[in-house]
Structure 1
């Protein structure tokens, strides 16, 4: 089957990496797959994958993708299009209507609708809501990456068709990536516990709270070390805060890495300090590596992924002392690997692909 997986931007973020992983998994199931990317961040290269055709359009934003995507649909004639993010979903649906494309369209929503749409007339988010209302009929499926998000769409739209389908987290390359060596003395056995966090260094990730939590632990005499993997606009601020809290020997921000799993598989606990999420892929990745998670009970996703605390420790949002308490619990009573594996099962690639095809009404066999 000819399939297009499209994303507006390739960067180190949950959406772009999830679309890449999904496209690669579809190739593994025997499909002819194009991964269409609006633009690639300058410092990155899309990793080649056997059998995956990568099409880069080199356009700066979603609006500028209209004619390139129109031409692509007319020329390539994919049978199925998997889009992600509401702005792009609306554009792809509009193009499919105007171009007469016969492709089945599945649009995945990755951000809370409360942050995407508005009822304030003539604002950008209001216009997007009107466009989405007008083109939704063309969608063969609209999906969300968490059940909580489905409920939120029901508050924003009248009788929306959205259903929950998780991202692929566990795929055939995961085990290999976990086993890659880590050249870092912090991750050698016999030292103080190592915590890892990962994500864009941005305000909503709550890394300020996490640094305050490490300071609380230090004041309690609990010596831990923290590695925050990622890059972003708050780097200078966070580095200055590390110094101001006298944590330079306890906290490191090594920057961007193409493989977080090798660090997760050698750490003692994972911490998600976010104020808001869609569904945090990184939380499932940590569980997949056998790493006990501590996560803020933020909207949306952590409570759903951790099943009310069965697969990890939930703590209040914006509460450094509560976060410190959760970290101490995780180190004292880690979740058994076999229990964590149970929590990861819904995110396995064959399970996710089968669900997508069911929703689209396609009876494609799944390869062994």
Structure 2
């Protein structure tokens, strides 16, 4: 018997961000296209740039510009819901997969004959960007009860979503994020031996907790004069970070090859050449799902120094020996790097732990190489080939009772 391809729609509020959610939707769109007809949709797809774009998939739009105020956002939801209902019917959508709260709300309220899936990308509890959703917890319970399946990107987040929204355990499962790795570059593409480089990749926003890194960098500069911190990404915190760097007398540049700079902002660029020329990946986030940037860094052979932030994504990736603990006070060495306390600008103890751990790695090339080698091996566990079949099984299982 020959079955027609299912039509799958991926919904995200915006394609314009360069964050992990948009990248994951891009990667998911690529692999699902191997088996299904894939449509990718945002609230205003034709009025915004696409940071990541699958040219082989059909792009759809809810034709609803992103509103700034809460009131205008609330007024815009009926239009979004009506438009998505129309698109689902027109394109005979079988499965709609939504990402982030706004898209989840629209997906749930436009549900027709299609099966609907939500992807939980990061912790809600303790996430500054999720304060409103926590206040509307009862609404969240009702919205997520309408979904056929909810996918969390790690096991800790699976438990959080199940408990927070009082969901049946059978409805929630976790599937690790995944990545299609580029061909390996030249690992000899490092900066000159006397120049050391720390690197971070991600949107420059509050949850990434980058300000403490500047304080740590300033302290480390007393020991490593030719040390740089490179921040890859854009975001609303850039100006405040530049201001903080000025207060610390750090030299700031937007030019990657500026050897006299202490802090370099590259903007949104291909991270792999920069990662391959760096020494240590530093990741002080306050909250994460399962951050693909860690996996990307590991694939280039970089050791990782990461906070043990909610909901434990770094803990999962680094395979720590002790339980996930956002309140940890000491560094824990793993096979791939170190799991750390979440640093705060006014927490001298945590800053000291970070400073000492980074210093240890910068001084010990043999340890850096060993941890980096292990990290590259670990990164392969998040390859497309290992994860994509879990997505195929999840989608196909929604229709098994219909066969």
What TM-score comes out, normalization by structure 2 length?
0.77
Residue 142 of structure 2, aligned match among 112, 116, 134: 134
Aligned twin of 2:323: none
Residue 316 of structure 1, aligned match among 336, 341, 345: 341
Which stretches in structure 1 are left out of the alignment for 5+ residues? Answer: none
What TM-score comes out, normalization by structure 1 length?
0.83
Aligned twin of 2:274: 263
Q: Tell me, in whole angstroms, the C-alpha distance in 1 between the residues paired with 2:385 and 2:108.
A: 26
Q: Tell me, in whole angstroms, the C-alpha distance in 1 between the residues paired with 2:386 and 2:118.
A: 18
Q: Is the Cα contact below 8 Å between 2:199 and 2:275 reproduced in 1?
A: yes
Aligned twin of 1:80: 95
Aligned twin of 2:10: 5
Aligned twin of 1:22: 28
Pick closer, same or farther for the CA change 1:67–1:344 going to 2, 3 Å.
same
Which stretches in structure 2 are left out of the alignment for 5+ residues? Answer: 68-72, 252-259, 321-333, 344-349
Give me the CA root mean square deviation: 2.9
Aligned twin of 2:297: 286
Residue 176 of structure 2, aligned match among 152, 156, 166: 166
- 3-state DSSP class of the match of 2:293? helix
- 3-state DSSP class of the match of 1:105? strand
Pick closer, same or farther for the CA change 1:157–1:138 going to 2, 3 Å.
closer
- 3-state DSSP class of the match of 2:204? coil
Q: Tell me, in whole angstroms, the C-alpha distance in 1 between the residues paired with 2:62 and 2:167.
A: 35
Give the drift of 1:214: 0.8
Aligned twin of 2:223: 220
Q: Tell me, in whole angstroms, the C-alpha distance in 1 between the residues paired with 2:89 and 2:40.
A: 16
Taking the TM superposition and a 5 Å limit, the aligned residue runs for 1:1-368 are: 1=5, 2-10=7-15, 11-27=17-33, 29-39=34-44, 44-59=49-64, 60=66, 63=77, 64-96=79-111, 100-101=112-113, 103-114=114-125, 125-127=134-136, 129-160=137-168, 161-169=171-179, 171=180, 174-176=181-183, 179=185, 188-221=191-224, 223-248=226-251, 249-300=260-311, 301-308=313-320, 309-318=334-343, 319-331=350-362, 332=364, 333-334=367-368, 335-362=370-397
Q: Tell me, in whole angstroms, the C-alpha distance in 2 between the residues paired with 1:211 and 1:112.
A: 25
Pick closer, same or farther for the CA change 1:258–1:3 going to 2, 3 Å.
farther
Q: Tell me, in whole angstroms, the C-alpha distance in 2 between the residues paired with 1:338 and 1:68.
A: 49
Give the drift of 1:238: 1.4
Q: What does the per-residue CA deviation read over 1:40-82, in whole Å, with 9 as the maximum and x for residues that have no partner?
A: 5977334543422222334226725212211110111122222
Q: Tell me, in whole angstroms, the C-alpha distance in 2 between the residues paired with 1:42 and 1:212.
A: 39
Q: Is the Cα contact below 8 Å between 1:203 and 1:234 reproduced in 2?
A: yes
Q: What does the per-residue CA deviation read over 1:283-316, in whole Å, with 9 as the maximum and x for residues that have no partner?
A: 1111122211111121121111111123221121
Pick closer, same or farther for the CA change 1:51–1:211 going to 2, 3 Å.
same
Pick closer, same or farther for the CA change 1:221–1:254 going to 2, 3 Å.
closer
- 3-state DSSP class of the match of 2:87? helix
Pick closer, same or farther for the CA change 1:307–1:135 going to 2, 3 Å.
same
